[in-house]
Amino acid sequence: MDNRPIGFLDSGVGGLTVVRQLFRQLPSEEVVYIGDTKRMPYGPRPAEEILAYTWEMVNFLMSKNVKMICFACNTATAIALDEIRNELGIPVIGVILPGASAAIQKTKTGHIGIIGTQATVNSDSYRKAVHFKSPDVEVISQTCSPFVPLVESGDFDNQSAYEIVKKELELFVGKVDTLILGCTHYPLLAQHIQKVMGPEVKLVDSGAETVRDISVLLNYFKLNRKAGLMSSNNQFYTTGSALHFKEIAEKWLGKEIDVETVNIESYSEKKILIATRNQGKVNEFRDMFTTLGYEIESLFDYPDLPDVEETGSTFEENARLKAETISKLTGEIVISDDSGLCVDLLGGLPGIWSHRFSGTDATDIKNNVKLLHELASTELTPKRRAAHFHCTLVAARPNHESLVVEADWQGRIANRIQGENGFGYDPLFLVGDSDKSAAEISQDEKNRISHRGQALKKLMQVFPDWAKD
């Protein structure tokens, strides 16, 4: 169960055709929608520009803590889906494969037509998807450039719009029995398209097909919203006129909505500098923050930065020193953690001295050996070996108040080193009441339950709003 919203993106209002189907098929799910109407149409633009704009929309949606993203735009799907899907830690779905699969099922003659934007048609994505599943099907593709501006104008329920559609579809009449509407704007012209093509031709609305796949993914990843909840906090954003977007959207969705104009260009590059040279920590942060669409850098990427001496007397003081100093030097958002192992019998030691517990030339092995030596008299009394990992995270950015979160991970100290997957004191730290060390659990499990994982979850709840203020 996951009550977070689903994110939808499109170059304009066309993706609302997918949202409308979602409201019909999955009425309990909530939506965050971004339409880049200021820079539409995407179709004639070069691929590099489409990719950059799509990343901005994705990063904007990630700042809204969505659980899944639907590319409700065929052009963005064709150009950007594969790259972005590989970078994000949440499910990402496009509209091309569901549409192609549906067309294969509907055609009786093996003749399929595809209409789309210039970028979608030039990418050849639909033909490849069709032929991957059914190589003998004949495919005819054509760009219908006037369709997107016609829909975005809101003036398409008239004879003039019909004549435009009729002219654009001349190539297909009598030659195909199935026509893929390869742009999510096009279902808004479905009445005209059907009239031109004839009642015997099957129109494939890729958006409607995509929602069926969304339902499958929600079930597979256990992301469904709690049963019985009704969608009540849908959010609609546009980069253009909110009033114009609202008029078209309400007409198409059949309900009143609130629309906000936003500037998403600031979301073009999202980067966080993690103030550490510990690769284990870097990997943990990367696993967590890529789900918000951030690129993670570390001090390995800034070899000329001076070391920040940890002179604080608490975890928070040390974390602040690192984060705020490095943020001032680089101008970047910086996250620093100060974390350590606190053993009850040792009065909370090693605590803030965890990394140098065995001296100035400390290593993980030396620290573990010293800890076992300090607790040697308690090997037969496990309750006296109670301990916890503590983590304080500080996020800093220039000219802003820093963000601070904390978390603990309870456990006890083992009598010997166990496991090889962790670092630091992980091989000695028995998780909770179990006999399994932190070095014996999977990285995914560790990310979920560790002190740093818990602190990151807390941070991620407040970080998006803090980062955009």
Which residues are known catalytic residues?
73, 183, 338
Is 426 annotated for ligand binding?
A: yes
* 111 assigned ligand-binding residue: no
Q: Is 425 annotated as a binding residue?
A: yes
313 is in an annotated binding site: no
309 appears as a binding residue in the annotation:
yes
Q: Does 42 count as an annotated binding residue?
A: yes
330 annotated as belonging to a binding site for a ligand: no
As a three-state string, the secondary structure of the chain is CCCCCEEEEECCCCCHHHHHHHHHHCCCCCEEEEECHHHCCCCCCCHHHHHHHHHHHHHHHHCCCCCEEEECCHHHHHHHHHHHHHHCCCCEECCHHHHHHHHHHHCCCCEEEEEECHHHHHHCHHHHHHHHHCCCCEEEEEECCCHHHHHHHCCCCCHHHHHHHHHHCCCCCCCCCEEEEECCCHHHHHHHHHHHHCCCCEEEEHHHHHHHHHHHHHHHCCCCCCCCCCCCCCEEEECCCHHHHHHHHHHHHCCCCCEEECCCHHHCCCEEEECCCCHHHHHHHHHHHHHHCCEEEEHHHCCCCCCCCCCCCCHHHHHHHHHHHHHHHHCCCEEEEEEEEEEHHHCCCEHHHHHHCCCCCCCHHHHHHHHHHHCHHHCCCHHHHEEEEEEEEEEECCCCCCEEEEEEEEEEECCCCCCCCCCCCHHHEEECCCCCECCCCCHHHHHHHCHHHHHHHHHHHHHHHHHHC
- 276 labelled as ligand-binding? yes
Residue 338 annotated in ligand binding: yes
390 is in an annotated binding site: no
The answer to whether 302 is annotated as binding is: no
Determine if residue 278 is labeled as part of a ligand binding site: yes
Q: Does residue 416 have a known ligand-binding role?
A: no
Q: Is 279 within any annotated ligand binding site? A: yes
Is 339 marked as binding a ligand? yes
Residue 184 is labelled as binding a ligand: yes
- List, as residue ranges, the binding site: 10-11, 42-43, 74-75, 184-185, 276-281, 309, 338-339, 423-426, 446, 451-452
Known binding residues for substrate are 10-11, 42-43, 74-75, 184-185, 276-281, 339, 423-426, 446, 451-452
User: Which residue ranges make up the annotated binding site for Mg(2+)?
Assistant: 309, 338
